[in-house]
């Protein structure tokens, strides 16, 4: 082996070690940084009495978790988090295959955990599209558990879901209107092709439902979604927010929009009531992240939490400051979870090539990096090791891949280089907002 090759191998080993060091959860650490926590579908409860943030996550998010259920991280500042503790443990002999989207709501002085559970068993119905690639029709629904503390332990009301048993339903959330509790949930596209948003009345103690579900809207109502009858449209992650300025009722939810991947969509109820009609569907976050929720921080900021990127094992919590002017909600700044805020409009990396008169200018952080298709971030490499830049100036992330590290698949768009790791570079107080990768 030549000295040059040895040098490259040593450099590559250092990079891989750094990537692993950034991502492995060390059991000896007493607290975790937000970047250390892999989380999908984040839900944050801000407890004003104890000045504590509670962030709920499915245990499977964390490598090394030894139970099926839900756990909670606690923090005083949204930056430093205590190690998770279990709040819901399902029995060892459970038939539950997946746990999704835990939300913790306070209602009439008690604490309720809404959780979507997917069974190993299948619904006794046919697929709506007879294709081999169409997902299996698993029994899936939102269950409600109850406790006397946000730390649990949460106990079930019953052994079946609160959402209708004949539906593949998910991501249930609580909304109270005129002292009556309702669950808003998503009817899975796997069963309907065009996913829907629906609601159903809950009993006053949330132990069960009353009556039949009602349709609010379809996933295809969002702009630029797929219209093909054989391509599913997703409804995910609904959350209700009522403006204290105008009383207008808003909903954020998530779907996939071609070219933008996973997005957050905003809509509002024209009647101001849950029954709608829900109008002016528009995407407010289009950077391959979503399943958002809204809460107010202890310093008074209105924040939207979501996970990004929407790629397995790489999801992290992101917070965005949002503005409520009574008529609409707009995302303004991403909170740099070191405590400061960065305006996305100020991020302007410029890539130049020494032999070209052309320039490519990024006016905002890359939104589809990483992705399962061509990325939109600055690329660099030496023909063997490839890197792609992502993230705002104060939190750069370099995704790494090698020329011979590919996934081979028979269909177009499914094959390509695989990311084997990433390197984070944090600059707490950047003195500049324009980067020029060469």
State pLDDT tens for residues 196-210.
Answer: 999 999 999 999 999
Say if residue 429's pLDDT is above 60: no
Residues 385, 307 share a domain: no
* 28 vs 112: which has the higher pLDDT: 112
Q: What local confidence, expressed as pLDDT, does residue 425 receive?
A: 83
Which residues, at least 6 apart from 202, have a Cβ–Cβ distance to it below 8 Å?
A: 144, 162, 174, 181, 182, 183, 208, 209, 210
Say if residue 343's pLDDT is above 80: no
Say if residue 372's pLDDT is above 80: no
Last residue of a domain, one of 302, 336, 370: 336
Q: What is the mean pLDDT of residues 47-65?
A: 95
Residues 412, 274 share a domain: no
Q: What local confidence, expressed as pLDDT, does residue 379 receive?
A: 78
Q: Is residue 13 part of a domain?
A: no
What is the domain extent for residue 352? 344-426
Reported confidence tier of residue 240, pLDDT bands at 50, 70, 90: very high
Residues 407, 305 share a domain: no
Residues 220, 137 share a domain: yes
Q: Is residue 378 part of a domain?
A: yes
Cα–Cα dist 172/236, whole Å: 9
Q: What local confidence, expressed as pLDDT, does residue 6 receive?
A: 47
Q: Is residue 230 part of a domain?
A: yes
Residues 306, 267 share a domain: yes
Q: Is residue 187 part of a domain?
A: yes
Q: Is residue 5 part of a domain?
A: no
| Rounded to 5°, angle at Cα 259 from 253 and 264 | 15
Q: How many domains does the chain have?
A: 2
Residues 297, 378 share a domain: no
Q: Is residue 16 part of a domain?
A: no
Q: What local confidence, expressed as pLDDT, does residue 416 receive?
A: 65
Share of the chain above pLDDT 70, in %: 78
Residues 368, 329 share a domain: no
Reported confidence tier of residue 28, pLDDT bands at 50, 70, 90: very low
Say if residue 299's pLDDT is above 80: yes
Q: What is the mean pLDDT of residues 281-303?
A: 97
Specify the residue for token string 């249930």: 172
Q: What local confidence, expressed as pLDDT, does residue 143 receive?
A: 98
Cα–Cα dist 398/129, whole Å: 40
Say if residue 41's pLDDT is above 70: yes
Cα–Cα dist 418/371, whole Å: 10
Q: What is the mean pLDDT of residues 156-162?
A: 97
Residues 328, 348 share a domain: no
| Rounded to 5°, angle at Cα 69 from 63 and 71 | 70
| Rounded to 5°, angle at Cα 316 from 385 and 144 | 145
Last residue of a domain, one of 290, 318, 336: 336
Reported confidence tier of residue 225, pLDDT bands at 50, 70, 90: confident
Residues 316, 368 share a domain: no
* 128 vs 373: which has the higher pLDDT: 128
Residues 116, 85 share a domain: yes
Last residue of a domain, one of 336, 369, 397: 336
* 179 vs 19: which has the higher pLDDT: 179
Say if residue 34's pLDDT is above 90: yes
Torsion of CA 101, 102, 104, 108, to 10 degrees: 90
Cα–Cα dist 397/163, whole Å: 40
Q: What local confidence, expressed as pLDDT, does residue 24 receive?
A: 37
Q: What local confidence, expressed as pLDDT, does residue 11 receive?
A: 45
Q: What local confidence, expressed as pLDDT, does residue 361 receive?
A: 57
- Return the SS3 of 14: helix
Say if residue 106's pLDDT is above 80: yes
Q: Is residue 297 part of a domain?
A: yes
Say if residue 351's pLDDT is above 50: no
Q: Is residue 177 part of a domain?
A: yes
Return the CATH number at 119.
2.115.10.20
Residues 387, 245 share a domain: no
Task: Give the DSSP H/E element, type plus range, for residue 22.
Answer: helix 3-23
Mean pLDDT of the chain: 84
Which residues, at least 6 apart from 54, have a Cβ–Cβ distance to it below 8 Å?
A: 44, 45, 46, 47, 72, 73, 74, 104, 150, 151
Say if residue 83's pLDDT is above 80: yes
Residues 308, 263 share a domain: yes
Q: What local confidence, expressed as pLDDT, does residue 406 receive?
A: 62
**Rg from Cα positions in the chain:** 22
Q: What local confidence, expressed as pLDDT, does residue 426 receive?
A: 75
Cα–Cα dist 222/244, whole Å: 26
């Amino acid at each position: 082996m030549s000295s040059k090759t040895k040098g490259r191998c040593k450099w590559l080993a250092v990079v891989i070690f750094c990537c692993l060091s950034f991502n492995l959860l060390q059991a000896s650490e007493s607290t975790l940084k937000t970047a250390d926590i892999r989380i999908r579908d984040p839900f944050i409860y801000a407890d004003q009495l104890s000045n504590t943030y509670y962030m709920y996550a499915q245990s499977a998010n964390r490598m090394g978790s030894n139970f099926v259920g839900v756990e909670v991280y606690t923090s005083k500042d949204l930056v430093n988090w205590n190690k998770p503790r279990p709040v819901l443990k399902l029995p060892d002999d459970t038939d539950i295959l997946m746990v999704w989207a835990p939300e913790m709501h306070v209602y009439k002085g008690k604490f309720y955990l809404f959780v979507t559970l997917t069974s190993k068993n299948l619904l006794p119905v046919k697929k709506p599209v007879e294709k081999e690639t169409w997902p299996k029709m698993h029994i899936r629904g939102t269950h409600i558990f109850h406790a006397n503390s946000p730390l649990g332990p949460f106990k079930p009301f019953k052994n079946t879901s609160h959402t209708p048993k004949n539906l593949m339903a998910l991501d249930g959330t609580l909304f109270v209107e005129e002292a009556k509790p309702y669950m808003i949930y998503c009817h899975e596209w796997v069963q309907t092709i065009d996913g829907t948003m629906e609601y159903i009345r809950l009993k006053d103690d949330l132990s069960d439902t009353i009556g039949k579900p009602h349709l609010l809207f379809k996933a295809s109502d969002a702009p630029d979604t797929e219209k093909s009858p054989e391509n599913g449209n997703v409804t995910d992650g609904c959350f209700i927010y009522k403006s204290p300025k105008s009383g207008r009722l808003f909903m954020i939810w998530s779907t996939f929009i071609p070219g933008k991947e996973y997005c957050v969509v905003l809509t509002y109820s024209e009647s101001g009531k849950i029954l709608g009609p829900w109008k002016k569907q528009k995407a407010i976050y289009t950077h391959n992240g979503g399943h958002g929720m809204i809460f107010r921080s202890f310093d008074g900021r209105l924040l939207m939490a979501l996970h990004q990127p929407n790629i397995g094992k790489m999801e992290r919590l992101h917070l965005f400051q949002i503005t409520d002017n009574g008529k609409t909600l707009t995302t303004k700044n991403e909170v740099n979870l070191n405590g400061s805020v960065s305006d996305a409009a100020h991020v302007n990396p410029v890539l130049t090539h020494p032999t070209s008169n052309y320039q490519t200018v990024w006016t905002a952080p890359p939104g589809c990096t990483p992705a399962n298709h061509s990325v939109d971030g600055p690329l660099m490499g030496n023909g063997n090791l490839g890197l792609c830049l992502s993230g705002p100036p104060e939190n750069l992330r370099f995704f790494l891949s090698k020329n011979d590290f590919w996934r081979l698949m028979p269909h177009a768009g499914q094959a390509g280089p695989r990311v084997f790791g990433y390197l984070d570079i944090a600059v707490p107080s950047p003195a500049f907002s324009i980067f020029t990768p060469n």
